[in-house]
Amino acid sequence: MTLVLVIEDEPLVRETIRLSLETAGYRVIVASDGRDGVNMLGHHEVNVVVTDLIMPEQEGLETIRIIRRDHPSIKVIAISGGGRHVGTDYLKAASLLGADFALQKPFSMSHLRQCVADCLTQ
């Protein structure tokens, strides 16, 4: 069964994404920042990471860089709501670092689920 790691510092957003993905049939584990998320990759066989970009401790761009270096087969979906222009700039940077998809918050849960499904068929 596919395992998705959701890295998001906002509890309500993290829980909403978790519930949506579990309802779609995915196993989901969560982390509240990039450092904890990267540590979890050493203990679980994760297929897809959904990561926020603006977080405490270790932000998402650094998290994506580490995932690409240490776990290149894991698919990455970057998400950001850091304002219209700021979020766009971060999302562009995430794509340049190797994110498979980059979504501006707010996004629909159906769009996120489709991105996860697309990651698994690439």
pTM comes to 0.94
Residue 85 identity (one-letter amino acid) = H
Give tens-digit pLDDT for 39-67.
Answer: 999 999 999 999 999 888 888 999 999 99
Distances, alpha carbon 98 to alpha carbons 22, 50, 62, 72, 110, in Å = 25, 13, 11, 9, 23
Residue 108 identity (one-letter amino acid) = S
| Cβ pair 82, 53 in contact under 8 A | yes
What ranges in 42-83 are assigned the alpha helix state H?
A: 60-70
Q: Which domains does the chain have, with CATH numbers?
A: 3-121 (3.40.50.2300)
Give tens-digit pLDDT for 11-37.
Answer: 999 999 999 999 999 999 999 999 999
Q: Say what percent of the chain tops pLDDT 90.
A: 83
Nearest to 85 by CA among 65, 98, 111, 104: 104
